Chain A
Amino acid sequence: MTTFFASLLIALRALMVNKMRSTLTMLGIIIGVGAVIAMIAVGTGAKTRIADQIASMGSNLLIVLSGSSTSGGMRMGAGTVPTLTFDDARAISVEIPSVKYVAPNLSGVAQVVYGNQNWSTIINGATPEIFEIRGWPLAAGRSFSQQDLDGAAKVCILGKTVADNLFGAIDPVGQIVRIKRVPFTVVGVLVAKGQSTWGQDQDDVIFVPLTAAQKRLFGMQFPGMVRGITVQAREAEGMKDAEKQITDLLRQRHRLSAGQDNDFSVRNLTEVMSSAEESADVMSRLLGAIASISLIVGGIGIMNIMLVSVTERTREIGIRIAVGAKSRDILLQFLIESLVLSLIGGTLGIGSGIAGTLILSSFTQWPTVFSVNAILLAFLFSGAVGVFFGFYPARKASLLNPIEALRYE
């Protein structure tokens, strides 16, 4: 221990003698560690934002859409032929145990008028379960009641964007808006949810009871028609099974024989989202890797300076060996010197990385998240760089021949 502290003191003093040189050498590590921390913070921020967006969509989601229509050999895409009914939704909810919530919907775009204001938006005919699935609370008012659904009540719940555009500062609850000239009473306003992963404004929407959408707004080609059914599974692990069970159930209900294509489609939304998350993850790793290169370059700077230092101090090393320093004493002395250099650089790098990230995010509005692990890792990595790049010069010093070293001018 005595030797260690003695070596530490010797190292600090040696670094103090060449302040400018030590600072410049450290700069490489400072920039390296700072870059690693900043890049990981940006990467983690992007990842967290995507994770938040996934959570805002609702987790463990399966979307069942109506089949595609074919017109003269041209297939029109999912949802163009209505095949799903409200009863399909009910059957899924009753017969498949791994399902938590089922929310059928029928939506369309319509012009909405309040007083002298008007706004074109998505009218989503839904059941109250949709708010559970998407974890979407009301900012004011109430949700739909069973009575609203049973009676196709002319009530609606506004998304934040719609409420702002039509009402401005007025409280919308209790007011009457006209959707396709049909008067609807506003019973609730949802809290803001922000953009979806794809940049859509999720708040630009009006919810009405599914039955009201069917009977009063969009009409039905057959009784109980819905455009899609959103299903939330209880657990992420059960998604695949649920997907299969829903497919089997609907094929049976739609009386499809073995060779026939599905007249509906089931999409696993979580998979889509997790691939987005994965790409953000890859991105953040890539950023971290690029930043680590600068740390390695900083390490080479340390090695260079340590080699110069060993040469300059050949005579000192000779004296130390002559008065009884063992190889490992000399090795330790120079290793500690490069370690001190890199750890001081690492510490300052943590500061500059955090400061740089804060400045960056205040200018670009990027979300950034600091992780203690990443900071610790960058710090330890800087120490490892110091030991790794300091070892060769230190070993070179420890192997010097004392007679030649003492003669060195």
Chain B
Amino acid sequence: MDSLIQVHDLVKVYYLGEVEVQALRGISLSVEKGEFVAIMGASGSGKSTFMNILGFLDGPTAGQYLLEGIDGERLSKDELAEIRNRKIGFVFQGFNLLSRTSAIENVELPLVYARVPTHERREKALEALSQVGLKGRGYHRPNQLSGGEQQRVAIARALVNEPSILLADEPTGNLDSKTSGEIMEIFQRLNREMGITIIMITHEPDIASYAQRNILFKDGNIVDDRNVLSERVS
């Protein structure tokens, strides 16, 4: 059976004016369904670029990326939007919630673009919120929630449309270590109990240790890829 994610010799080149930046220099890897992967590396190592490509927000310069056998290269902008909507859930470092709308409406956002009817939307959003332990906080606005709670809303938003994969870009970057632990606990639970595939970028080794597999990026190459023998339990 094919892997969930297959990446072959992925290259990404940026042009910052005259300067050519080699962000990815030939990445190959595969991720199976149900894995919890942490991607580590210093800033500028290309891990964020890699994440954008995995999330169909950006295309590679060369090489191939397949998600469940789908090649984004051949798809239009709107088709990519649909894949992001149905197969990918994003969690960002800065939470990226809509500040003027309530938590539950933030969670509903992907369902709005999936054309899900209103009542069904509310039901699913409530369920996703209870999965991240925010039952009853749905009608608060982001600025009335703590950082950890905001990130949990973002996780609920990423989960609500039952994606194939959850992509998290420095999910604990703006959080203290106690709250970070709580977020990792949620990730582990989602991964173990619901079999959700998670790929997470982090530069903190102790956050990476919550994952089953750690991949180390350096200067656009993978320099290390190993399974964590005894992952940390929160």
Contact = CB atoms under 8 A, between A and B. Distances in A.
Interface string A301-329: 00000000000000110111111111111
A6 interface: yes
A327 B79 CA distance: 11
A372 B57 CA distance: 51
Interface in B92-123: 92, 96-98, 100-101, 109-110, 112-118
A329 B116 CA distance: 14
Contacts of A323: 84-85, 90, 109-110, 113, 157
Given A2-B115, A2-B117, A2-B118, A322 B82 contact: no
A2 B112 CA distance: 8
B57 A402 contact: yes
B59 to A, nearest CB: 11
A316 B98 contact: yes
B55 interface: yes
B101 to A, nearest CB: 7
Nearest to A329: B113
A359 interface: no
B78 A13 contact: no
Contact of A17 (B86, B100, B116, B157): B100
A6 B114 CA distance: 12
A3 interface: yes
Interface residues of A, number: 23
- By size class, the interface of chain B is 20 to 34
Interface string A325-353: 11111000000000000000000000000
B55 A324 contact: no
B96 A406 contact: yes
Nearest to A5: B118
Given A323-B85, A323-B113, A329-B113, A403 B58 contact: yes
B62 interface: no
Contacts of A14: 100
Nearest to A315: B96
Contact of A3 (B52, B85, B112): B112
A326 B81 contact: yes
B115 A3 contact: yes
Interface string A1-28: 0110010000001100100000000000
A3 B118 CA distance: 10
B14 to A, nearest CB: 11
Nearest to A6: B112
